[in-house]
Every structure is written in C-alpha cells, then in structure tokens.
C-alpha cells in the first residue's frame, strides 16, 4: 500500500527518513537551532563574547536544560563555568543547518503573498537566494518584482536545472499547488515550502513543510473560545444534535483537479 508517494505525516515534518539516522539530531532540536542562531547573531552584533545557557535560553524563549541538551547533539562547544563562545556557536549552528552554502530558491505564484516574500529581506540574509520568480500568468512575465523579472512557468524546468535549485516555495492558489509541486519535483527540487492550503503528495526523499495561516488562526480561536468558556464557567456543553446545521460557509477556494 503505502509504497508510492508519501503523504506528509508529521506535524510539519519533512520526510523524516528513519534510515539516515547517523548521529541524527532530533527533529525538535533542528527546529530550534534557527531560534538559537537568531539570538546568537544578535549577541554577536553586540560583540558579546560568551553567553551562558541560561541567558541564551531566555533570549530564545526556551528552557535552559533543553538548550544545553540541544547543543550536546552538536558536540560539546561550551566551557563549564563560563558558557558558550558566541562566534563559535554561530559558526557551528550555521554549518549544521547548511547555511554556510548558497541555497537558490524559486518562488512560484507571484500574487499577493509571492510579492511579499520576494520583497522579504530576511530571505537573502541567510544563505537563501531567490533564483527566480515564476508565474503561470503570462501578463506578469517580465514585470519586475523586488528587482527580479517574473518569468513564466514554462521556464521552470530549465531554471531549476541550470541554477541547481533544490528548494521551491509555492504561493499559488490551492488548486494549482499539487501540479506545481509535481513539476518542481520532476525538475529536481527536493524541498518544498508550501503556503497553499493543500495536502501535497510527494515522492520519498522530498521534504515538504507547510505554512498555513488559516490553521494557525483556527487554533487560536479554539483556545480563545475555551478561555471565554472558562470565564463564564459554563455547565452546558451539550451537543445540539442538529446534524444539518448550516455552519460556516467556509467557501473553500478549491479547484480540486482530482488525482
């Protein structure tokens, strides 16, 4: 059964292959490294030479024991009684995350969101470089966005290959996301950041992470509702038992091109 394409399982995880688990750094740790790196970079810019796990943990918003354990996976780069060398840690984490090299990225779907991402400075700051902006709308072709010309998706395969792009960002409407994803993967992309509210199916070996604004808001709404309910300290949480309720119209913009 589950032999062809793997659907994204984990919370937001990539194709966490069980096999290549050499000195495997736990996923949870990997997800926090960028957080540490950001805090360390700020310290570095203030020329702070060393930092204790307690201080750094506070800056990153995590538990200090967790931070120390995280760092222990990278090897032991601290000095007892002193703390961690800021510059050295910045280097080690950058290296571990692969930020010491250049990562060409393509953004597909230059609408509202694609525009914003293209203009986002935080991209280039770390090793990420926007190799191309792609859109299926021919009317956009050639138009400059953040100094880069929008190119037609016809050129996708050529660009991915020639620029050695391994990371693709999808900001198309949901109905086009799977198709765009398939083309990116076929062209050689092996990591995808998906902003469309779509479950992407990809072959093994391809990592997908998704950013879903709508889900985040709904989770907040849940907690918000719970807080409100706790305040009132209700007693009636009974189910109305009205199956046919109209409920939220939702208006999903699905164009669902079927499988």
Ligand X SMILES: NC(=O)c1ccc[n+]([C@@H]2O[C@H](COP(=O)([O-])OP(=O)(O)OC[C@H]3O[C@@H](n4cnc5c(N)ncnc54)[C@H](O)[C@@H]3O)[C@@H](O)[C@H]2O)c1
Partner DNA sequence: CCATCTTTGTGCACGCGTTCACAAAGACAT
Partner DNA sequence: ATGTCTTTGTGAACGCGTGCACAAAGATGG
The 178-207 contact track toward DNA, x by CB under 7 A, reads ------------------------------
Given 76, 125, 162, 225, the residue binding DNA (CB under 7 A): 76
User: Any idea of the CA torsion for 38, 40, 44, 46, to the nearest 10 degrees?
Assistant: 80
Residue 111 is assigned to a ligand binding site: yes
Using CB under 7 A, which of the segments 8-16, 33-41, 174-182, 210-218 binds DNA?
8-16
Among 78, 104, 168, 174, binds ligand X (CB under 6 A): 174
Between 79 and 179, whose beta carbon lies closer to ligand X? 179
- Please name which of 175, 171, 137 lies closest in space to residue 257, comparing C-alpha atoms: 175
250 binds ligand X (CB under 6 A): no
Interface with a copy of itself (CB under 8 A), residue from 55, 68, 83, 120: 120
Name 178's Cβ contacts closer than 8 Å, sequence gap at least 6: 198, 200, 201, 257
DSSP, res 8: P
Beta strand 144-145 with 201-203: parallel, antiparallel or unpaired? unpaired
Which residue of 55, 91, 141, 163 would you call a contact of a copy of itself, by CB under 8 A?
91
Helix 86-97 with 27-45: angle, nearest 10 deg: 140
Would you state the structure tokens that stand for residue 106, as one six-digit string? Answer: 């393509």
Q: Which residue from 5, 12, 49, 54 is in contact with DNA, where contact means CB under 7 A?
A: 54
By CB under 6 A, tell whether 103 contacts ligand X: no
Question: What is the full DSSP assignment across 131-166?
Answer: EEEEES-GGGTT-EETTEEEEEGGGHHHHHHHTT--
User: Which residue in the set 28, 48, 65, 138 belongs to the binding site for a copy of itself (CB under 8 A)?
Assistant: 28
CB of 99 to DNA, least distance (A): 21
User: What is the x/- site pattern for ligand X, positions 195-214, by CB under 6 A?
Assistant: xxx---------------x-
Among residues 76 and 162, whose Cβ is nearest to DNA? 76
Please give the structure tokens belonging to residue 179. 């198709």
Footprint on residues 118-157 left by ligand X (CB under 6 A): 119-120, 122, 134-137, 153
CA dist 80 → 57, 77, 86, 90 (Å): 16, 10, 14, 18
Q: Which two tokens stand for residue 30?
A: 């990997």
Using CB under 7 A as the criterion, which residues of the chain lie in contact with DNA when the complex forms?
9-11, 18, 26-29, 52-54, 62-66, 68-69, 71-72, 76-84
């Amino acid at each position: 059964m589950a032999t062809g394409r793997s659907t994204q399982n984990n919370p937001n995880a990539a194709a966490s292959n069980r096999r290549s688990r050499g000195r495997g750094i736990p996923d949870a740790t990997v997800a926090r490294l960028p957080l540490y790196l950001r805090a360390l970079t700020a310290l570095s810019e203030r020329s702070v030479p060393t930092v204790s796990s307690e201080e750094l943990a506070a800056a990153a918003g995590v538990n200090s024991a967790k931070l120390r354990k995280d760092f222990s996976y990278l090897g032991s780069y601290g000095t007892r009684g002193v703390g961690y060398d800021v510059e050295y840690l910045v280097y080690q984490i950058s290296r571990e995350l692969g930020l010491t090299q250049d990562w060409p990225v393509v953004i597909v779907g230059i609408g509202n969101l694609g525009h914003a991402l293209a203009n986002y400075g935080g991209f280039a700051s770390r090793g990420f470089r926007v190799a191309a902006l792609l859109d299926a709308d021919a009317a956009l072709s050639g138009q400059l966005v953040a100094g880069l010309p929008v190119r037609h998706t016809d050129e996708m395969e050529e660009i991915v290959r020639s620029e050695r792009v391994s990371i693709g960002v999808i900001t198309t409407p949901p109905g086009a996301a799977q198709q765009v994803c398939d083309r990116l993967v076929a062209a050689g992309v092996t990591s995808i950041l998906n902003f469309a509210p779509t479950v992407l199916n990809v072959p093994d070996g391809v990592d997908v992470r998704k950013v879903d604004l709508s889900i985040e808001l709904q989770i907040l709404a849940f907690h918000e509702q719970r807080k409100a309910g706790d305040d009132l300290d209700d007693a009636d949480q009974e189910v109305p038992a009205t199956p046919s309720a109209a409920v939220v119209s939702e208006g999903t913009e699905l164009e669902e091109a079927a499988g």
